[in-house]
Amino acid sequence: TFVVTENCIKCKYTDCVEVCPVDCFYEGPNFLVIHPDECIDCALCEPECPAEAILSEDELPADQEQYIQINADLAEVWPNIAERKDAPADADEWNGKPGKGKLLAR
């Protein structure tokens, strides 16, 4: 399965959702997640993310492994998103900033 990782936080470009053939993205206040039971591992979303925040669970760096559980948990409670929307106005300023994990809004 593919996993949305920390660099999506406060960037939330949403380019990813448009290409997903099974619409398995779910949206929170400043982050998106992928439902691990719905993702069919097609890999189409990975190159679409301007923040390079989407990775296969097999290639996650150790400090991003916690996002497997975060995606699984939040996909159960957040609403589905299947259409692209405008990113936050300051998205580009947050792209690549370290330590955004603590800013994840639930």
Binding site for ligand F3S (CB under 6 A): 4, 8, 11-16, 32, 48-49, 51, 53-54
Distance between start and end Cα atoms, the chain: 22
Strand ranges in 2-94 using DSSP code E only, listed in sequence order: 2-4, 25-27, 32-34, 54-56
Q: Is residue 29 classed exposed, middle or buried when 0-12, 13-18 and 19+ CB atoms within 10 A define those classes? A: exposed
**DSSP code of residue 103:** G
Residue 10's contacts (CB-CB under 8 Å, 6 or more residues apart) are: 30, 31, 88, 90, 91, 94, 97, 100, 103
The answer to the question of residue 3 lying near ligand SF4 (CB under 6 A) is no
Q: Contact with ligand SF4 (CB under 6 A): which of 29, 42, 76, 92? A: 42
Which listed option, ligand SF4, ligand F3S, none, makes contact with residue 70 (CB within 5 to 8 Å by class)?
none
Q: How far is the CB of 54 from ligand F3S (least distance, A)?
A: 5
Q: How far is the CB of 7 from ligand SF4 (least distance, A)?
A: 16
Write the interaction track for ligand SF4 spanning residues 11-40; mark x where CB under 6 A is met and - where it is not.
Answer: --------xx-x-x---------x----xx
Which listed option, ligand F3S, ligand SF4, none, makes contact with residue 77 (CB within 5 to 8 Å by class)?
none
